[in-house]
């Protein structure tokens, strides 16, 4: 079959890119022709009314503010993101569209929606600049194609859809041939909000085993430490926590991230590490500290001890669903105070066994997809 994957736009998100790549790879192994739908990055038009405010902040209050932020970011993005863009160019078969109107019925035999937080309304709007109901394939209304949701995530454990979105979304969800969600809470949410049934499947990144990722990362430079710290929402508290754990466990901390935000550093020092280097970080780590969902995933895949700091704003239920299913809920801490110095935070054999069982179940779901009538 010709399959299109609808996920959140890829851009520079390591986890988002790798989950799309993993799903593409698995479907191709099953004999399908796959394209990952993606949108071009859109830089905001210069909001001229913001300039005076930024000017005042910068020159009167001495804030680290960039007055012409949008224009400068547009110029620097291809340089800062070049390593990640290269991975996407080599590894992901993208079809870039500006609007869902560009897709025609003849283009695909099936569209797979998932994974990532594709069914979280504000993320879909921000990413695709489109109506939320397009996340339920509203743009394909009337087409004679297969519609499948694979491990689609709502991100949270409460309904964030409006009443009109629920009414329209239900109409289009009823046209799906099969629906699976990533979080256990998503099953109840879909039933309560839309009246549709779903099952739970693994995030696509789990569908490829560790050796596959090791092959991707083997040529990347060795990491400069053994305590991998991948923190999305940085704070002084988290910085102090990393220093404490490093001292307590006798590790050397390192990170593999860089902000796209402009700073006083030369652009050469703000180039984002490659996807391969990011994976290499898990290979080389003896311990991981993160507030990222997919960093938790790869800590588990590489069987590295890890501590996950809860991130409610980005969707805490994702962490709870994954870790509780694998009996790793103690690896999630609500705050720094929840850390237990003497605890090993390892990924147990029991967790690996459960993961393997769930992987087989998820692969069976995708295999059956080809036979759906």
Q: Which of 40, 28, 21, 29 minimizes the C-alpha distance to 2?
A: 28
Mean pLDDT across 209-236:
95
pLDDT of residue 369: 76
CATH of 2-39+97-207+358-369, one of 3.30.56, 3.40.50, 1.10.287, 1.10.3470: 3.40.50
pLDDT band at 41 (very low <50, low <70, confident <90, very high): confident
Mean pLDDT across 212-218:
97
- How do the domains of the chain map onto residue ranges? 2-39+97-207+358-369, 219-302+306-345
pLDDT at residue 68 above 60? no
State the pTM of this model.
Answer: 0.91
pLDDT band at 259 (very low <50, low <70, confident <90, very high): low
Instruction: Kindly report which listed range (69-78, 121-130, 288-297, 346-355) carries the lowest average pLDDT score.
Output: 69-78
The predicted-structure confidence for 95-148, as pLDDT tens digits, reads as follows 999 999 999 999 999 999 989 999 999 999 999 999 999 999 999 999 999 999
Instruction: Quickly tell me which residue has 């790879």 as its tokens.
Output: 25
The predicted-structure confidence for 157-186, as pLDDT tens digits, reads as follows 899 999 999 999 999 999 999 999 999 999
pLDDT of residue 264: 63
pLDDT of residue 57: 63
pLDDT of residue 267: 79
Pairwise CA distance, residues 153 & 181, whole Å: 6
pLDDT at residue 373 above 70? no
The predicted-structure confidence for 302-319, as pLDDT tens digits, reads as follows 999 999 998 777 778 899
Instruction: Kindly report which listed range (60-69, 263-272, 275-284, 345-354) carries the lowest average pLDDT score.
Output: 60-69
pLDDT of residue 370: 64
Pairwise CA distance, residues 332 & 320, whole Å: 8
pLDDT of residue 49: 54
Between 372 and 351, the higher pLDDT residue: 351
Mean pLDDT of all residues belonging to the chain: 91
The predicted-structure confidence for 356-369, as pLDDT tens digits, reads as follows 999 999 999 999 87
111 φ/ψ sector (left φ>0, alpha ψ -120 to 50, else beta) = beta
Helix (H) or strand (E) holding 307: strand 306-309
Percent of the chain residues past pLDDT 90, beyond the cut: 77
pLDDT band at 44 (very low <50, low <70, confident <90, very high): low
pLDDT of residue 6: 98
Residues 288/230, Cβ–Cβ less than 8 Å: yes
Q: Which of 154, 145, 144, 171 minimizes the C-alpha distance to 114?
A: 154
pLDDT at residue 46 above 90? no
pLDDT at residue 204 above 80? yes
Pairwise CA distance, residues 283 & 364, whole Å: 28
pLDDT of residue 64: 53
């Amino acid at each position: 079959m010709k399959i299109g994957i609808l996920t959140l736009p890829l851009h520079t998100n390591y986890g988002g890119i790798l989950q799309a790549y993993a799903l593409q790879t698995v479907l191709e192994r099953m004999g399908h022709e796959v394209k990952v739908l993606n949108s071009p990055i859109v830089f905001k038009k210069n909001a001229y009314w913001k300039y005076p405010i930024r000017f005042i902040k910068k020159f009167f209050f001495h804030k680290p503010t960039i007055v012409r932020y949008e224009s400068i970011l547009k110029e620097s993005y291809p340089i800062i993101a070049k390593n990640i863009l290269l991975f996407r160019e080599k590894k992901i078969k993208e079809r870039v569209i500006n609007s869902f109107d560009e897709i025609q019925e003849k283009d695909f035999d099936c569209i797979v929606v998932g994974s990532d937080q594709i069914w979280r309304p504000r993320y879909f709007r921000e990413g695709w600049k489109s109506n939320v109901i397009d996340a339920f394939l509203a743009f394909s209304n009337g087409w004679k194609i297969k519609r499948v949701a694979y491990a689609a995530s709502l991100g949270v454990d409460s309904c964030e859809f409006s009443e009109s979105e629920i009414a329209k979304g239900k109409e289009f969800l009823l046209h799906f041939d099969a629906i699976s969600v990533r979080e256990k809470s998503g099953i109840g949410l879909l039933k309560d909000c839309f009246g549709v049934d779903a099952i739970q499947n693994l995030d696509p990144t789990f569908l490829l085993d560790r050796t596959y990722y090791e092959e991707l990362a083997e040529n990347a430079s060795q990491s400069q430490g053994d305590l991998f710290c991948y923190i999305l929402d940085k704070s002084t508290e988290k910085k102090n926590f990393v220093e404490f754990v490093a001292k307590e466990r006798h590790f050397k901390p390192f990170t593999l991230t860089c902000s796209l935000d402009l700073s006083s550093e030369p652009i050469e020092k703000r180039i984002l590490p490659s996807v391969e280097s990011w994976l290499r970080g898990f290979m080389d780590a003896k311990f991981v500290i993160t507030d990222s969902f997919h960093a938790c995933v790869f800590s588990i895949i590489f069987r590295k001890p890890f501590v996950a700091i809860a991130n409610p704003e980005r969707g805490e239920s994702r962490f709870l669903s994954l870790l509780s299913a694998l009996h790793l809920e103690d690896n999630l801490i609500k705050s720094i105070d929840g850390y237990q110095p003497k605890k090993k935070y390892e990924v147990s054999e029991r967790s690996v066994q459960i993961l393997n069982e769930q992987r087989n179940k998820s692969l069976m779901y995708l295999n059956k997809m080809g036979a759906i009538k």
